[in-house]
Structure 1
Amino acid sequence: MSLRFFGDPAKPFLTNNYATLREIEGRLKSIRNIEKITNTMKVVASTKLARAQRAMSDSKVYGEASNEVFKQAETKPLPTGKTLIIVASSDKGLCGGIHSQLSKQTRRILEEKPDADLAVLGEKCKAQLSRSNPQNMVLSFGGVGKDIPTFAEAQAIADQIQQLPAKYDNIEIVFNSFKTAISYEPTIVPAFSEEAILASEKFSEFEVDDEQLVALREFSLANAIYWALAEGHACEQSARRNAMDNASKNAGEMIQKFQILYNRTRQAAITGELVEIITGAAASEES
């Protein structure tokens, strides 16, 4: 959310070279109310960001641990087969362009893999991708991003994905990766199928039986989704804090400009009244 000026902020309110004081007062009141709202939202986002970063750090430990297992086993995506793309966004806006960045990254993947299916977490990316790629969407989840993600939520999402009728050889999870408080970028993390795990060159060294393999695949998928949701949530809170901070600064600049306009208009009105009084007094003396 941002407030911007293009040109002179007073121009929309000038009538016969003067804006009425009532119009300017009304505009100032509206902008001050907006500034209060954006400042409050900035404070709320700052408070939530600290909790979100702690949850992100916890989830990242588990996610990177799973990735290390597959790295040691030299697991790679299968060169052919059906692909499912999981997009981890949220239901909330007012946080800059982080959702549109995810949608753009997903569209780039779909250009290379036009037959891939989409599972979208969150209403924001669902709305964007429904317009451009409705034929690819097979599953969506609402109510995402209301609070800090939990592993139980990720596990429930993973269970629904595993119940899809299609068999997926490759799964790719697209989410916002947290770099700094003002920097985040779309990232892709694979979640491997049983066939891809079995095809790993060094997986036999782990001595995992068939039952454990199924549990490993299910756990690694839920783990990756949890990591994506937690890190995406931290990016969202950081982006919302920055957006509200920019909106508050823009509102402050607008208030300053309108306050100057108000003072000048009020001074002009007072000067005009004084001229009328002096002119009237002079006319009375002459008569």
Structure 2
Amino acid sequence: MSAVFGRAALRQVAGARSFSSSPAPQATLRELEMRIKSVGNIGKITKSMKMVAASRLARAQNSMKYAKAYGAANNAVFEQSEAAKSEAKVEKILYIVTSSDRGLCGGIHSSVAKAAKKDIEQGEGVGKEVTIVALGDKPKQQLVRGSVGNDVALSFNQIGRAVPTFNDALAIADKIESEGINFDKIKVVYNKFVTVISYEAAFIEIYSNKALAASPSFAAYEVEGDELSGDLASFSMANAIYAGLVEGYASEISARRNAMENASKNAEEMISKLQMSFNRMRQAAITNELVDIITGASAL
């Protein structure tokens, strides 16, 4: 009987041990050495990208100063003409979400995409016929995957490779008009450059030629026909696109510089931790070898 109870107890102990979790295997010295080298190479790449972004930031900021004049001119036109007080109803809104095709710059792309979605679902776009034009592959991907994906009618790529020019904005505006997209109002969503380390999503509002022609101050000039208001509205759209692209480009370069700086710091911290682990394991291996040598010598 005692033998039976003994075998049962052994089975219970064996079963308990089979369910125990084994400790995770530690990395070897060779694996730690390879890890340190790989993290070091990544750190070199991020430092190089940071230096490149820093060198391009001054040129981007300089271009942004000139581009802001275009946005200020647009604001002056619509403010002095009092287009917002026009009798024309705003039933169709065109959102032009400006960003780029490039990554490794933090949340610069999600910033404009979230701002556009919020304005469409909770702001001025509620109850209106909405059309979206995406400038850049990154904002297009986020908008298409979201709840407003069906509203994306047109997209452009090859954005953000260099400082945007007014000819680029003019070509985009011409393409939008050639597609026959109807709108009563345009809202250009872009990243506003606040400081070197911060940015925020902002809007540039443009009214259609109908709203401009029906505005109180514009009608006082007694201009015959819609040619002048149409040309002015088209030129204002190109101006706003240009201002949004250039300021968004400066924000992106600044964000990429900050992201690469943070990545370089993280790489340095990771290397120091891995180096400490490597030194401890190496010291333990040397100590074990010394213990074996001393033990063998004592046995002899």
Q: TM-score, normalised by structure 1?
A: 0.90
1:240 equivalent in alignment to 2:256: yes
Deviation at 1:69, TM superposition (A): 2.0
Residue in structure 2 matching 1:59, options 61, 67, 90: 67
Q: CA RMSD in A?
A: 1.7
Corresponding residue for residue 218 of structure 2: 203
Asked whether the equivalents of residues 89 and 184 of structure 2 are also in contact (C-alpha less than 8 Å), the reply is no
With CA pairs under 8 Å and 6+ residues apart, which has the higher RCO, 1 or 2? 1
Residue in structure 2 matching 1:250, options 266, 277, 289: 266
Residue in structure 2 matching 1:128, options 133, 136, 142: 142
Q: Return the letter of the residue paired with 1:137.
A: V
Corresponding residue for residue 43 of structure 1: 51
In 2: Cα distance, 1:106 partner to 1:143 partner: 21
Q: TM-score, normalised by structure 2?
A: 0.86
Residue in structure 2 matching 1:87, options 88, 97, 101: 97
Deviation at 1:62, TM superposition (A): 1.8
Matches within 5 A, 1:20-31: 20-31=28-39
Asked whether the equivalents of residues 19 and 265 of structure 1 are also in contact (C-alpha less than 8 Å), the reply is no
Give the count of matched residue pairs: 270
Residue in structure 1 matching 2:133, options 116, 119, 123: 119
Asked whether the equivalents of residues 169 and 242 of structure 2 are also in contact (C-alpha less than 8 Å), the reply is yes
Matches within 5 A, 1:63-212: 63-76=71-84, 78-112=88-122, 113=125, 115-132=129-146, 133-205=148-220, 210-212=226-228
Deviation at 1:208, TM superposition (A): 5.1
Equivalent residue of 2:192, what SS?
A: strand
**1:152–1:208 CA distance, 2 compared to 1 (3 A):** farther
Q: Return the letter of the residue paired with 1:241.
A: R
The one-character-per-residue Cα deviations of 1:187-234 (angstroms, maximum 9, x if unpaired) are 111122111111222124556554332221111110000000000000
Q: Return the letter of the residue paired with 2:268.
A: G
1:265 equivalent in alignment to 2:256: no
**1:247–1:94 CA distance, 2 compared to 1 (3 A):** same
Equivalent residue of 1:120, what SS?
A: strand
Asked whether the equivalents of residues 39 and 248 of structure 1 are also in contact (C-alpha less than 8 Å), the reply is yes
Amino-acid identity (%)? 51
In 2: Cα distance, 1:28 partner to 1:155 partner: 49
1:279 equivalent in alignment to 2:295: yes
Which protein shows a greater Rg?
2
Superposition misfits of 4+ residues, deviation over 6 angstroms: none
The one-character-per-residue Cα deviations of 1:208-264 (angstroms, maximum 9, x if unpaired) are 554332221111110000000000000000000000000100110000111111111
**1:64–1:257 CA distance, 2 compared to 1 (3 A):** same
Asked whether the equivalents of residues 81 and 216 of structure 2 are also in contact (C-alpha less than 8 Å), the reply is yes
Q: Return the letter of the residue paired with 2:136.
A: G
Name stretches of at least 5 consecutive residues in structure 1 with no aligned partner.
1-12
Q: Return the letter of the residue paired with 1:235.
A: S
